[in-house]
Amino acid sequence: MLKKIEEAAEFIKQRISVKTVIGIVLGTGLGNLAKEIDTEKEIPYAEIPNFPVSTVEGHSGKLIIGRLNGVPVLAMQGRFHYYEGYDMKTVTFAVRVMHKIGIEYLLLSNAAGGMNPAFHIGELMIINDHINLFPENPLRGKNFDELGPRFPDMSEAYDVNLRKLAFQIAKENNIPNVSEGIYVGTQGPTFETPAEYRFFHRIGGDAVGMSTVPEVIVARHAGMKCFAISIITDLGIENKVEKVSHEEVQLAAAKSEPMMTLIFKELVKKI
C-alpha cells in the first residue's frame, strides 16, 4: 500500500507547480465550489496510478489544483463511498495520497439527514464530533507506523480552531442557520427508517450521512487537521420523517452550497 500511495503522490506532484497544504473533499451535489477555484491543473482520477474511479451520480471524479480566494488548494471533486462497494482502504486512499503530497488541513463537505429537532432543511451544520457506525474501521489491519500510530487519539477529530474560525466567518457574513453538531456515519445506501433516525438521535447524533467519517479517521491517523460541514438536506426528526430521494438531497445541497462555499473560501484565507 505504501508503494501505491507513493506512486500516486509522485504522479500528482510532477504535474503541479504550486505547493499547497489544504485539501478539500467535495460531497454529493457540492461540486460547484470547484468552479470558484482558479484552476492550474485538473487530473481525472482515471489517469492517476492506483486511484479508484468514483461511480455515484453527482460526482465527476477529478482532482482540481489551483487557487481558491488566492490560496493554493487541492480539491477532490467526487469521493469514494463505502456503499459503492469499495473496501475502506480504497475509500480513504486519496486522503493518504493527499497527506503524502504535503496536505496538512483537510476540509470536507457532505449532505446529511438532520435529526436534531431544531434543524431545518438547507441549514449548515459544522461537525464538532462524529460517531462511527461503519462496519469496518479504515485503520483495521496492519498498522504502517510511517503513516501514523496504531491507536490514534480521536479526542479532537474536528479541529477546534477551524470550527471557531468558521463560526466567526458565518457571523461576519450574516450566513443564517449555521449550527454545530455530531455526525453519525453509516454505510448506506439506504436512508434511515424512522426507528433508525430516532436511535441515532438518542445515541447523540444531530445528523446522519454515508461519508466523511472514514476520511477523517485516516486524516487524523496521519496528523492532519480536519474541518467538515454537513448541509442538512432532509429531516429524520421523530414523527416528522418524510420520504427522501437522492435527487432531493442533491437539490437541497445545491441550494445551500453558496453559503458553504463562502465559508470555505474565507476559511482557506485564515489558515
Grid coordinates of 40: 492550474
**Considering the rule CB under 6 A, would residue 196 count as an interface residue with ligand HPA?**
no
* Amino acid of residue 55: T
Nearest distance from C-beta of residue 209 to ligand HPA, angstroms: 4
Which among 64-72, 172-180, 203-211, 216-224 is the span making contact with ligand HPA, rule CB under 6 A? Answer: 203-211
- In sequence order, which residues have a C-beta less than 8 Å from that of residue 66 and are 6 or more positions away? 18, 37, 38, 39, 40, 41, 72, 73
User: Which of residues 138 and 236 has its CB atom nearest to ligand HPA in the complex?
Assistant: 236
SS3 232: strand
**Considering the rule CB under 6 A, would residue 191 count as an interface residue with ligand HPA?**
yes
**Considering the rule CB under 6 A, would residue 58 count as an interface residue with ligand HPA?**
no
Distance of CA 232 to the CA centre of its chain: 14
Please report where in the chains the cell 509522485 appears, as a residue. 10
Considering only 132, 233, 256, 261, the residue that binds ligand HPA (CB under 6 A) is 233
**Considering the rule CB under 6 A, would residue 234 count as an interface residue with ligand HPA?**
yes
Q: How many CB atoms lie within 10 A of CB 108?
A: 26
**Considering the rule CB under 6 A, would residue 227 count as an interface residue with ligand HPA?**
no
DSSP at 45:
G
**Considering the rule CB under 6 A, would residue 132 count as an interface residue with ligand HPA?**
no
Considering only 103, 249, 260, 268, the residue that binds ligand HPA (CB under 6 A) is 249
DSSP at 117:
T
**Considering the rule CB under 6 A, would residue 192 count as an interface residue with ligand HPA?**
yes
**Considering the rule CB under 6 A, would residue 27 count as an interface residue with ligand HPA?**
no
Query: How many residues contact ligand HPA, by CB under 6 A?
Result: 13
User: Which of residues 113 and 138 has its CB atom nearest to ligand HPA in the complex?
Assistant: 113
Rounded Cα distance between 167 and 267, Å, is 10
Nearest distance from C-beta of residue 248 to ligand HPA, angstroms: 9
Please report where in the chains the cell 510532477 appears, as a residue. 14
DSSP at 221:
H
Nearest distance from C-beta of residue 48 to ligand HPA, angstroms: 27
**Considering the rule CB under 6 A, would residue 206 count as an interface residue with ligand HPA?**
no
Rounded Cα distance between 28 and 14, Å, is 29
Considering only 23, 61, 78, 236, the residue that binds ligand HPA (CB under 6 A) is 236
Nearest distance from C-beta of residue 184 to ligand HPA, angstroms: 9
Among 243, 203, 221, smallest CA distance to 140 is for: 221
The CB-side HSE value for 117 (13 A sphere, CA atoms) comes to 5
For ligand HPA, the binding residues (CB under 6 A) are: 111-113, 191-192, 208-210, 233-234, 236, 244, 249
